[in-house]
Structure 1
C-alpha cells in the first residue's frame, strides 16, 4: 500500500461519524488542505489554535482532526493579521490539512456523548433526543434455486440483513417465476420467444438507506439473470436511533452534592456549577457535551434526575430548578474527552484497514477559563 493520504483518514472518520448525522448548520468536513495530501501522522484536538498547528508541525503531522470547526462562519477574506487568517497561513506554510467532526461525532454511536456517558459509569444508555433517522428498506429478489446461496451471501457481505448483533439475516420463500425472453435478450434460462416457468426462491433482507446502492449493485453482480426481478419496500420501523446526548442510570442513587463531586472527579475539572432541582436523589442522568441548555425539556421527557452539560445561562437554570430538574455544569471543555477517544478508535480502525499512520493526542489545553 502507498503512503497514507488525508482522504484515507477521512474515510475512516466518516465510516464512524457520517456527515449525514451532523446538524445542517454545522460546517464539518475538510476545512483546510487537500484530500490527496500525505498524512503519515495525525494530530487530534478539541480546538484548532495557532499553538495546535505549531504542535502538529513539530510532530510532523499532515492532518489535524478537530471537534470544533476552525472555520465556523464563511470568511470574506483571508487576512493574516487576524486569528483565523494566521491559522490558515500556518496550515498552508506547513502543509497541514484540518478536518472537523463536530455534531456528527456528537451523534455517532461511540462518539463524544457515549464517551461522556461511559466516563460517568452509566448503564442502559439511550439517546436523549433523536436528530437523525436512517431510512429502512426491505429488498425482495427472485432467484433460481442454484444461485440462492451466492446471491444471499453477496447481500449479506454488502451489509444487508444486519439486525442488532446478527448479520446475514434473510428469509426465503419458494415459488414459480414466469417470463418470456423477447428478441435481443440473452436469457440465463429458456429461449427467445418461448414462455418459461422456473422454480425460484424469493430472498428477503432488510437494509438501511445508506447502503442501498451498494447492496443493489452486489445483488445484480451476483444474480445470474440478465434482468433480475426485485423490489425495494420502505419500512416504517427503525433499526437504530441516532441523536444528540445520552441518558443512562448510575449503579446506585446518589445525593446531588455527591454526584457533583463525582462528576468533577470523572471529568477532571477544578470546579463546576450546580442547580438543585428539588433535593431528590440522582439515579437517572442525562449528559450532553458542549452547550446543552436547550435540552432541558428533553431531559425532563426522559425522566432524568439531572442534566450534565455546559454553558447553562441564568434563566435556563432557574426554569430547570422550577421544573424539578437538577443541573451539573462542568463546562464546555469536557468535550476534550474526544481527543483520547478518537485516537483509540482511529488506531483500531486504521489497523483493520491496513492503513499505516501515527495518531497523536494534542497536549494543548484550549480551555479559555481560569478558575480562582
Structure 2
C-alpha cells in the first residue's frame, strides 16, 4: 500500500516542487509522510467544508492546488478559518500535499489544461522560467491558435470561454480585434498582457483582472477576458485525479463535490 511520501514523489515527478516561485508554499504541508493512504481527495482549495468531506470519505490525504498554509502562521486556533481548517485536519488525521505554482508552470499542468479546454493548438509558454527534468520549457501561461470553428468576435468568444470553463460569468473588454491567437493565464495573470501581445496574441484569458488592466489592455489593442480564478484553475483537478488513479490503482481517489466557485453573478 502506498504512503503519503509515495504520493509526494509522484507529484514531484509531474511538477517538481523545486520549480515553485519564491513566494509560494507548495509541498507536503500537513501530516506524517509514512502514513498509508487508502483514500485520497482532490480539490482546488482546502476549506473547512473540504476537510469535512475528506473526513466523511475516510480520506487520509487531500491533494490540492492552493496551499492550505500560505502565509506564516503565528497561531493555530479556532478563531480564524485557516486555524479551524488545520485543527480539523490534524484532529481527523488528514494530511495534505499542495502543488501550486510548480503545477501552474509544469508541462501538462494548469496552463496546459486551460489551453486544452479552450481548444488552443501549437501552444508555447507565455512567460518561460526554465526547463523541467526532461529539458522541456516550463513557465506561467500559454499562447496558441484557436480552432477553425472558434468564435471570431470578442463577445462570442467570451461566451464560449464561459461555457467551456463552466464559469458563473465573465468580464471582458473588446479591443476590436478578431479572435485568432489567444494567450491564457490560469489564476491572477492580469499583468501579463504585454507578453501576450509580444507573442502575437489578440486575446488574453485570465482572472482577477484589475480595472486599470482592462483599460491598459483596450489601449494596447488586446481583447481581455476575466473568466474567474476558480474556473481558470479548476480545470487541472480532474486531470490530476486521473493521473493519480493511474499511478495508484489500489487507492480510492475522489474529486471534491463540495468545493465550488465562491461567488455568483446576478
**Partners of 2:49 and 2:259 within 8 A in 1:** no
Deviation at 1:266, TM superposition (A): 0.4
Deviation at 1:32, TM superposition (A): 1.1
**CA-based RMSD:** 1.4
In structure 1, the residue matched to 2:235 is 337
**Partners of 1:106 and 1:244 within 8 A in 2:** yes
Structure 1: runs of 5+ lacking an equivalent: 135-209, 212-238
Which of these residues, 50, 53, 56, is aligned with residue 54 of structure 2?
Answer: 56
In structure 2, the residue matched to 1:365 is 259
Deviation at 1:97, TM superposition (A): 0.2
Q: Distance in 2 between matches of 1:299 and 1:315?
A: 17
Which of these residues, 7, 10, 15, is aligned with residue 12 of structure 1?
Answer: 10
**Partners of 2:5 and 2:34 within 8 A in 1:** yes
In structure 2, the residue matched to 1:160 is none
Q: Distance in 1 between matches of 2:159 and 2:262?
A: 22
Q: Distance in 1 between matches of 2:200 and 2:63?
A: 35
**Partners of 1:57 and 1:94 within 8 A in 2:** yes
Query: TM-score by structure 1 length?
Result: 0.69
Report the number of matched residues: 263
Q: Distance in 1 between matches of 2:28 and 2:262?
A: 25
In structure 2, the residue matched to 1:70 is 68
Deviation at 1:347, TM superposition (A): 1.4
**1:254-308 Cα shifts (integer Å, max 9, x gaps):** 111111111111011131001112x111010101110011111111111111100
**1:158-202 Cα shifts (integer Å, max 9, x gaps):** xxxxxxxxxxxxxxxxxxxxxxxxxxxxxxxxxxxxxxxxxxxxx
Which of these residues, 201, 217, 221, is aligned with residue 324 of structure 1?
Answer: 221
Mapping of 1:145-184 within 5 angstroms?
A: none
Which of these residues, 54, 59, 83, is aligned with residue 81 of structure 2?
Answer: 83
Which of these residues, 110, 114, 137, is aligned with residue 241 of structure 1?
Answer: 137
Deviation at 1:326, TM superposition (A): 0.6
Which of these residues, 195, 206, 225, is aligned with residue 298 of structure 1?
Answer: 195
In structure 2, the residue matched to 1:280 is 177
Q: Distance in 1 between matches of 2:15 and 2:252?
A: 20
**Partners of 1:5 and 1:35 within 8 A in 2:** yes
Deviation at 1:133, TM superposition (A): 3.5
In structure 2, the residue matched to 1:43 is 41
Which of these residues, 308, 311, 320, is aligned with residue 205 of structure 2?
Answer: 308
Runs of 4+ in 1 over 6 A off after TM superposition: none
Q: Distance in 1 between matches of 2:78 and 2:259?
A: 24
**Partners of 1:56 and 1:64 within 8 A in 2:** yes
Q: 3-state DSSP class of the match of 1:52? A: helix
Structure 2: runs of 5+ lacking an equivalent: none
- Larger strand share, 1 or 2: 1
Query: TM-score by structure 2 length?
Result: 0.95
Q: Distance in 2 between matches of 1:366 and 1:129?
A: 29
In structure 2, the residue matched to 1:102 is 100
Q: Distance in 1 between matches of 2:235 and 2:184?
A: 13
In structure 2, the residue matched to 1:227 is none
Give the greater-gyration-radius structure (CA): 1
